[in-house]
A and B are shown apart, each in its own frame.
Chain A
Amino acid sequence: MRPAGRGERDSLYFTYPTFEAPSGAARAGLTGRAPVVIVGAGPVGMLAALELARHGIASVLLEARDTFNDGSRAICVARQSFRILESVGAVAPFLDKALGWTTGRSFYRGRQVLEFAMPDSADEKYRPMYNIQQQFIEQYLWEAISRSPLIEMRWCSRVTGIADITGGLRLTVEDTQEGYAMEADWVIAADGARSPVRSLRGLRLAGQNFEGRYVIADVQMRHDYPTIRRALFDPDCRRGGTVLVHRQPDDIWRIDYQLAEGESEAEALREERVRASVAALLAELGHEGPWELEWWSVYSANTLALEDYRDGRVFFAGDSAHIVPIFGVRGLNNGLADAQNIGWKLARVLQGRAGAALLDSYSPERRGATLDVFANATRSARFMTPPGPGWALMRDAALNLALSHPFAGELANPRQMTPYTYADSPVVLPDDPGFDGGPVPGAVLPDAALEGGFLSERLGPGFTLVTCAPALAEAMAGEVEAVLIPPGSGAALLLRAGPRSAYLVRPDGHIAARVHDATAEDIRTALALSGCARQGEPA
């Protein structure tokens, strides 16, 4: 929502483009068959299209709206998401615009009780977290899409029907000119929390609704504070509540505050009410200068997911598959990882390089990541919004104790998560007990400084062999790309790699397998199992 007198797209800092449905000659091709149709051009749908294009697969992207997101919404983009953006060639404008951060501070009744730093080092190419408004995320992904000849974008295009046909799907689409039908081999539904595709397939999200509801409000102001996330527990301006403050680019500040008990959503969303809440908070923060209200919205802390992210030839990604509380900042970040995961797998199946079994690994891997978020976010949500009197008492006791004893402040640490490890995936191999520590199969390959750059930059679009053994790399030439790391280097130490050790890394940067004393035959076996190498079955 925006202040009275301003339209939905009258932003203080962002100029909304207006897109139109396909017109003229472009309409002749609307009913052709596409290998992949992606429904929804939010960050998740756009990333899916870019990931498919990275592997040479064409897609059609259908979006019901005629422009980008109405507000800043998902603003925290994690390190792993920056790696994903880099892999699809879209990271440059994000690096220019986004504000990187590592530190969070928590306050109890105005006094600091915790300062935490997320892990960061010279071995990391990207910072643990970046703040950037969702409109910019969509704009920059859209710019990358515009450069790709493999992606056909159709704005103002709503999917109104989706039916199974032999070997594919038949979609009914309505745009501003007419309705038409088209076919696809596969569909990725990235059409958001209220996913029309999910409804058309007769599927429902299952899980829990938490009591806590938050207003999110953006204000523009000159405010002198570094990019540090602040959490205010029980502040004077909102006794019994919790307030979060985030800095965003263009002098925009995000203020999240919990609705008071018994306060109705309609009342909390009234402009005067939002202004009064913001003014009281800014007074408490010591901000004396002018400020302008930009945009506001409301959300609740839910943990909801589909039982299976796959329904025949339809894959659900992002909010259409899972709703997570925002405290773990995993909604957007996990959505991007969903898109990358299904993207490379569909590409390999469509190219005939992998059997259809590879696609069966999508739901267990990505739903596992969601359940992991639920466990973590539930923990955070219970601290931010205690679900009962016992939870409230212990939270207050911990914060009060933290004023004198820092150990208790750690209970307020949100422990923003690292990417999920696919430990139980059908396409990740068991660990080799020969390793003494280091990252396990299923985990994201950690980054490391390497020869003036970073290990992550050397990973290819396909599977990559990371090894200290030149002879092994040579023996596998033509079968898999290899990155040689010098024995004893920082990267080798991080991976606990001996002279003949090898890591097989998937197109999404996760470790498929590792072998401490590897032969070419070991790597061939791992490649076949983790990539579901095709053995004559139809994709």
Chain B
Amino acid sequence: MSPADLEAVYEDLAETLDAMTEAQRPVFLAKLALLMAEALGDAGAVRGYIAAAVQNLDA
């Protein structure tokens, strides 16, 4: 994925999140996580990303 591709995904996510209610946001993100996990097809890798995303949350 090129930096431009990542940026396009970033913008799409931001706009999509802005277009929904606050209550819908966590459900949407959790759905997205499940969808991408299924598409990736590698439970070990997904669990690695979960651990990575948890880092520095209270930074």
Contact: B26 with A400, CB < 8 Å?
no
Contact: B38 with A397, CB < 8 Å?
no
Indicate whether B31 reaches chain A with its CB closer than 8 angstroms.
yes
Indicate whether B27 reaches chain A with its CB closer than 8 angstroms.
yes
Contacts of A405 in B (CB 8 A): 35, 38
| Measured CA separation A396–B31 after assembly (Å) | 9
Number of interface residues of B (CB under 8 A): 8
Contacts of A393 in B (CB 8 A): 26-27, 30
Q: Is the interface of A mostly helix, strand, loop or mixed?
A: helix
Indicate whether A12 reaches chain B with its CB closer than 8 angstroms.
no
- Nearest CB in chain B: distance from A232 CB, A: 19
Indicate whether A280 reaches chain B with its CB closer than 8 angstroms.
no
Contact: B26 with A401, CB < 8 Å?
no
Contacts of B31 in A (CB 8 A): 397, 400-401
Indicate whether B13 reaches chain A with its CB closer than 8 angstroms.
no
Indicate whether A407 reaches chain B with its CB closer than 8 angstroms.
yes
Indicate whether B45 reaches chain A with its CB closer than 8 angstroms.
no
Q: Is the interface of B mostly helix, strand, loop or mixed?
A: helix
- Nearest CB in chain B: distance from A357 CB, A: 42
Contacts of B38 in A (CB 8 A): 405, 407-408
Contact: A394 with B30, CB < 8 Å?
yes
How many interface residues does chain A have, given as a range?
10 to 19
| Measured CA separation A400–B38 after assembly (Å) | 15
Indicate whether A398 reaches chain B with its CB closer than 8 angstroms.
yes
Contacts of A397 in B (CB 8 A): 27, 30-31, 33-34
| Measured CA separation A407–B30 after assembly (Å) | 15
- Nearest CB in chain B: distance from A146 CB, A: 55
- Nearest CB in chain A: distance from B31 CB, A: 5
| Measured CA separation A407–B58 after assembly (Å) | 34
- Nearest CB in chain B: distance from A165 CB, A: 57
| Measured CA separation A404–B45 after assembly (Å) | 25
The chain B residue with its CB closest to the CB of A398 is B34
Per-residue CB contact flags for chain B residues 16-55 toward chain A (1 = under 8 Å, else 0) read 0000000000110011011100100000000000000000
- Nearest CB in chain A: distance from B20 CB, A: 12
- Nearest CB in chain B: distance from A153 CB, A: 54
- Nearest CB in chain B: distance from A389 CB, A: 9
| Measured CA separation A394–B50 after assembly (Å) | 14
Per-residue CB contact flags for chain A residues 374-397 toward chain B (1 = under 8 Å, else 0) read 000000000000000000011011
| Measured CA separation A134–B38 after assembly (Å) | 42
The chain A residue with its CB closest to the CB of B28 is A397
| Measured CA separation A401–B39 after assembly (Å) | 14
List chain B positions with a Cβ less than 8 A from chain A.
26-27, 30-31, 33-35, 38
List chain A positions with a Cβ less than 8 A from chain B.
393-394, 396-398, 400-401, 405, 407-408
Q: List 23 A-B contacts (CB under 8 A).
A: A393-B26, A393-B27, A393-B30, A394-B30, A394-B34, A396-B27, A396-B30, A397-B27, A397-B30, A397-B31, A397-B33, A397-B34, A398-B34, A400-B27, A400-B31, A401-B31, A401-B34, A401-B35, A405-B35, A405-B38, A407-B38, A408-B34, A408-B38
